[in-house]
Amino acid sequence: MACAVETTFSYADANDLTYDTDLVETAGGVTRLKAYNLSLGALYETPGNANADYAIDSATGSLQNGATVSGGALQCAGAAGRFVVYAAANAFEALQVGTVKLLWTPNYTGAPPTNNFLFNIAGTPSDKNQIMVYHQFTGALTVVIKNQSGQFVVNYNVPGGFSAVAGQTYEVALCWDLANGATRLFIDGTQVGATQTGTGTRSNSIIYFRVGNRTAADTAYHAIEEFTLHAEVLYEADYTYTEGESPILVTRSAPTVVTDGAILTSEVEEFTEIVSEPSPSDVRWVLRVNGTDKWWDGAAWSDSDGTYAQTNDAATINTNASALALSPLGTQVRPVAFLGSTDGIAVPTITSCTFGYCLVVAEPDAPRECVVYGFDQLIDGTNRVGVEIYVEALFGFTHGAHIQRSGPDGRISGTTDAEGRIQFQLVETETINLSPYQFVIDDGGDSLPDTYGPIQVPDAVQVAFGDLIARSS
C-alpha cells in the first residue's frame, strides 16, 4: 500500500462531470450555478424546471383586446381590457410560496385616472386564490391575496400611497410565504410598507392568469416588461436593483455536481478545495463511497439523505477524512458537490478539489506485463493517434486504478474502466512516439522508459510490471 498519493479533480470540463444542465454550467475553467438573464417576456420558473418558459407573445399567451408586444414590453395602455392571458395551470406551482417580478412603466404622474391593475391570478367565485397588485386612483398601492375560500389573507395599502412618474420604469417584486406569514412588496429593490403576517392556504382552483389588466372592463395605463413568476421567495430583505439591467438569478435548490472520476483507496487522508463563495453562497460536499453518499454528522460518518442539510464544508471533511471506514482492499470514493445560493443572486463556483489518500496496490505473485498499443481515431475529420494501456494484468481489480500521463501537452489523469483499461490521446502522426510521455501510477513509481517508443499504429508493446509501477511497502 502506497500512501501520500494525491489526485486533483478539475471542474473545467463539463465532459468530466455530471449535473443538471438547466441549473449548472461549466465555463471559464470553473463549474458554477447557471445564471440567466430574464427574457423580455414572461418566464414561469420552478426550481429544477428551467424549460417551462412562457414568453409574452401570441404563441404562448393570448393577447387580448388589442394588447401588443413592442420593444420587449407588453403595451396595454389606452383601452379597456388589454392584457395577456396564460393557462391557469402555469400558476399552480406558486401557491403557498412564490414571487412575482415585473418591470412597470406607468404613463401617468401621481395616481392613475382609474384603478390600474398590474396583474391578477384568481379563481371564481369571490376571486378565491387571488393574488394581485394594483395602483388605485386614490394613489394607494395595494396588495391582495385570498385563500381557497375567497377570504383575505392580505389586503394591504402601502402607507402614504405611491406617486408614479410618467415614463419611469419601476421594478416591482411581490414575495409571499403564506405558511409562515411573510408577504413583502419591493419597489426597485426596497421594501415598501410592512411585512404582512397573514397565513392561509391557496388551492389550484384558478381560472385567471392575466398580466396587464384584471378584467376586460379595466383600463390600463402602463407597459409591462420581464414579468416572471417563481415558485420560491426570492427576497426577504432589500436587494440591489440597477435600472436598465436585467436581473441575474440562479436556482436556490442547491444542485449537485458529481465527478465522473473517483479514487480507489483504503484511507482518505486529506480533502481540500479551490472554490469561490460570494456571500450568501457556499459549496458543500458529501463523499460517495461505493455508491452511497456519506456526511460527517458531528460524531461519525453517516449515510446522507441527499439534502443540503446533510452535507459538510471541505474543512470538516478534511478534519474527519481518516475516520471514514474503507476496505483495506480498496474502496471507490467520489466527491459530490452541492452549489448553494441563499438569495438566488450570489453564484458559487468550483475550480478543483484534491484528495490525499493511500493507494491500494495488490501485487501479483510474479512480475507480469501489461499491453501498451497504438490506435488511431478519426475526430472531427482529423486523424489522431493515441495509446491505450491495459492494466487489468497489473492489479487484482479490473477498474478504479488511477493512472497519470504527463507530456508536452500537459498532465492528464484518469481511472481505468470496467475492463481495466484507460486511453490517452496523443497529438502525433501515424507513429506514436512514447519518448516525451510518462505513464505513472504512483508519485514515486517508475515511468514507462523511452525504449518503448515510438510504436507504429496499431502495433503493441509489452511493458514489464516493474517498469510501470514501483513496489512500495
C-alpha–C-alpha distance, residues 99 and 119, integer Å:
13
Which pLDDT score is estimated for 248? 54
| Distance between CA atoms of residues 271 and 344, nearest Å | 28
Q: pLDDT tier at 166 (50, 70, 90 boundaries)?
A: very high
Q: List the CATH number of the domain containing 9.
A: 2.60.120
On whether the CB atoms of residues 301 and 316 are closer than 8 A, the answer is: no
Model confidence at 41, in pLDDT bands (50, 70, 90)? very low
Please state, in angstroms and rounded to a whole number, the distance separating the CA atoms of residues 400 and 420. Answer: 8
- Of 218, 249, 280, the one marking the end of a domain is 249
The neighbour count for residue 312, using CB atoms within 10 Å, is: 23
Q: What is the largest CA-CA distance in the chain?
A: 95
Does residue 46 have a pLDDT over 50?
no
**pLDDT at residue 464, as a whole number:** 47
Residues 276-306: pLDDT tens digits?
999 888 999 999 998 999 999 999 999 999 9
326: pLDDT strictly greater than 50: yes
Question: Do 200 and 125 sit in the same domain of this protein?
Answer: yes
Task: Please check whether residues 215 and 259 belong to one and the same domain.
Answer: no
**Which region among 16-20, 79-83, 115-119 has the lowest average model confidence (pLDDT)?**
79-83
**Shared domain check, 223 and 152:** yes
pLDDT at 88 over 50: yes
Q: What is the pLDDT of residue 377?
A: 53
In the prediction, which pLDDT does 67 show? 82
Look-up: residue for cell 398601492? 141
- Ramachandran angles phi, psi of 212, nearest 5°: 120, -55
- 93's grid cell: 406551482
| 217 and 87 within one domain | yes
pLDDT tens by residue, 207-241: 888 888 888 888 889 988 877 777 778 889 998 87
Instruction: Pick the more confident residue, 329 or 24.
Output: 24
- Asked if 41 and 173 sit in the same domain, the reply is yes
Rg over alpha carbons for the chain, rounded to the nearest Å, is 30
176 plus 282 within the same structural domain: no
The grid coordinates of residue 443 equal 508519485
Give me the CATH number covering residue 202. Answer: 2.60.120.200
Closest to 330 in 3D by CA, of 355, 354, 300, 362: 362
State the Cα–Cα distance between residues 75 and 78, nearest whole angstrom.
9
Q: Are 241 and 345 in contact (CB under 8 A)?
A: no
Q: 134 and 204 in contact (C-beta within 8 Å)?
A: no
Number of domains in the chain: 3
Report CA 130 to chain centroid distance, whole Å: 32
If you ran DSSP here, which 8-state letter would residue 316 be given?
Answer: H
Whether residue 472 is predicted with pLDDT greater than 90 in this model: the reply is no
Residue 473 lies in a domain: no
Q: What is the pLDDT of residues 381-433, one digit of tens each?
A: 555 555 555 443 333 333 455 666 656 666 666 666 655 556 666 555 555 55
Quote the pLDDT of residue 407. 62
How many residues are present in the chain?
Answer: 473
- Identify the three-state secondary structure at position 384: strand
Domain that holds residue 447: 369-468
Q: How much is the pTM?
A: 0.48
11 has pLDDT over 90: yes
